[in-house]
Amino acid sequence: MMASSIEFINGPFDGHCETVGLPRHDLPTRLVCYVSHNVFRLIAGQSRLSKSRVTSLASYQRQRRGDKCVYFFIESTSPTETGTNSVTK
């Protein structure tokens, strides 16, 4: 299995790059990501907190940019608008 490198453009994860264990053609066309304090702690290499409330959901759309796969920010919604008002563990 080939891994793919993806990059997030704009939105709360702007500039973040991630390697995922899927080939490019198997990546979803749209991603919805939980946004919480823990997410940013994990991205920064810090340990997570025992509880962290989801503050929003960020939607990204996949696009090709040359040989790279990038996800462009579409919108951010409140977890209460989508019924996802929960605490991540």
Q: Is the dihedral of CA 77, 81, 83, 85 positive or negative?
A: positive
pTM of the model: 0.79
Instruction: Flag residues of the chain having pLDDT under 70.
Output: 1, 81-89
* pLDDT tens, residue by residue, 49-67: 878 888 899 999 999 887 7
Find residue 5's DSSP bridge partners.
19
Q: How far is CA 41 from CA 27, 60, 66, in A?
A: 25, 20, 31
